[in-house]
Amino acid sequence: MSEDEISDAPVHLNVYGGVAGHAALTEDLVEAARVLGDAASQLRDADRWLSEVQDVCDDAHARAIPSVAPLIWQARDAAEEARLGIDGARSLAREMDGVEVRLHQVARGYAAAEEAARERVPTLVQMGWTLRDLADTRVWGTRAVAASLWKVSQWGVLSRLVGADPVGDAIQPDGAPPTAGYLNGTSLEAVTFALRGAGVYEPARAHLARLARFVDHVAGEPALVAVAATTPDDPQPLRSLADLGALFVLLDRSAPREVTIDRVSQPDGSSAWVVTIPGTADTVGARGEVFDIGSNLDGVAGGPSASAAMVLAAMKAARIPADQPVMLAGHSQGAMVAAAIAEGATASGAYDVRSVVTIGGPSAGVARAPGVSYLHLENAPDIVPAADGALHALGPNVVVVGFDTRASGDRRLAEVSRTVVGAHHTTTYAAALASADRTSSSLSLERWKEQNQQFFRDGRTDRVHFQQVHAVRPDHPSPAGESGEEQCRPLRRLDALPRPAVSLGGIPPTSP
């Protein structure tokens, strides 16, 4: 299995939320219980009124003439039967009270089952992985120190001079240290919650964002001024979530990052659009790249970012009509961008966003637009989804798929997932997307597929790659005015309606 090869081993998925999630089902169950409770209360009122009818009949029977007395007694018997009979008001009220109690118990059962699904991996297994990774990290560190000492030793220097260093190769650790056992989504979530509780999360994020922008400025990073469109010769149609995963892997190789927009032809001649947004490619520095740590920090705060400006420029250049359905799919930083644009486009009416797919992104704390369906995939050892320190607000339109690729039957995938980079890699999530295609055991996931089948079809797909064009490029001295490019200006605010003549168009702020 190469670095970019997607495992075909099944990944066990825990699906919660959506139409079959407890947030959706318990709403119906609780509402049904409320209706039954009201009905039981009305039946108890009827029982009391029928008792009063019996008392009136008893009094009237004692004073009635002989020819009327039997009729009054029959009315009394009818009132008693309606009150105390097998199907009387008192019996029905008791039954409805019992059903109301059981409905609440079922609702609590759904909530407990969904909470268990969030756990993903048993506690004892997690503890075993933690101890294993702590031990292996210590071994990795020991080997790294030994390899460094060997390189500066006399024999190490001589070995490199002759071009063969078997000793150094043997003691040099392979890849990154296995840290997922103790540095994972759960542990980072606890840290971020603690930082938010202490009131230092937002100030620290803001300081880091300013520092990242300062370093970029000092390093002379060129500004994004336009996006340039290129068309691949033979694009693979988006027929499934697995194809979307393969596209994420393809975009992960691009540097600087590219955004793709697929126009998917529909049987009636109309089109649906899929905007695929990559993750972070760079930290800080002189290389022109908008998908960097600065945009990450801006995105977590729900503010404007250079990466969001690029995506909006690409969507404008693609000429996506305001009345045709759009899916936004993003990995890592791209997940935040997708969620923010979905909310803004829905509020302003600039685009008809119907669906958002995120993989490995801090998407729990984003504001969700009404009428948009959300599918979030999160790998348990991946620390990035926990970076916002928030919990998902579940509902009928929000489906969360949790999984743990350390438990995969593919040994290579399981080993790669023990590292921070491997657990977050697009190939890891592509394997989960392929498994989501194959599974049919989740009603929520199946309903999501039905709702979004217009974006995954066997028919014609027209794909365009949008590349970043920066102000300083030796081979492209005047980028903004070239044919086939869309001018890209920074987003100054996120609370304005689109004004194409002035900017790319704003999007409303997301919730912090």
- Distance, in Å, from the CA atom of 274 to the CA atom of 262, rounded to the nearest integer, reads 5
* C-alpha distance from residue 346 to each of 278, 285, 486, 489, 506 (Å): 22, 35, 23, 22, 12
Q: What is the pLDDT of residue 284?
A: 56
> Residue 83: pLDDT above 50?
yes
Q: Once rounded to an integer, what is the mean pLDDT over residues 153-166?
A: 83
Domain boundaries, the chain: 26-119, 123-171, 183-487
- Distance, in Å, from the CA atom of 277 to the CA atom of 463, rounded to the nearest integer, reads 13
Average pLDDT over the chain, rounded to an integer = 79
> Residue 427: pLDDT above 80?
yes
CB neighbour list of residue 167: distance below 8 Å, 6 or more residues apart:
150, 155, 156, 159
> Residue 505: pLDDT above 60?
no
Q: Cβ distance 181 to 133 under 8 Å?
A: yes
Q: Cβ distance 168 to 159 under 8 Å?
A: yes
Q: Once rounded to an integer, what is the mean pLDDT over residues 27-51?
A: 78
Report the range of poorest mean pLDDT among 17-21, 40-44, 97-101, 227-231.
17-21
Q: Once rounded to an integer, what is the mean pLDDT over residues 359-381?
A: 89
pTM over cut 0.85: no
CB neighbour list of residue 254: distance below 8 Å, 6 or more residues apart:
278, 281, 467
Q: Once rounded to an integer, what is the mean pLDDT over residues 208-233?
A: 75
The pLDDT tens digits for 289-341 are: 888 887 877 776 666 788 888 999 999 999 999 999 999 999 999 999 999 89
**How would you classify residue 509: left for phi > 0, otherwise alpha for psi between -120 and 50, otherwise beta?**
beta
Structure tokens, 55: 């008392």
- Distance, in Å, from the CA atom of 40 to the CA atom of 90, rounded to the nearest integer, reads 9
Q: pLDDT band at residue 353, thresholds of 50, 70 and 90?
A: very high
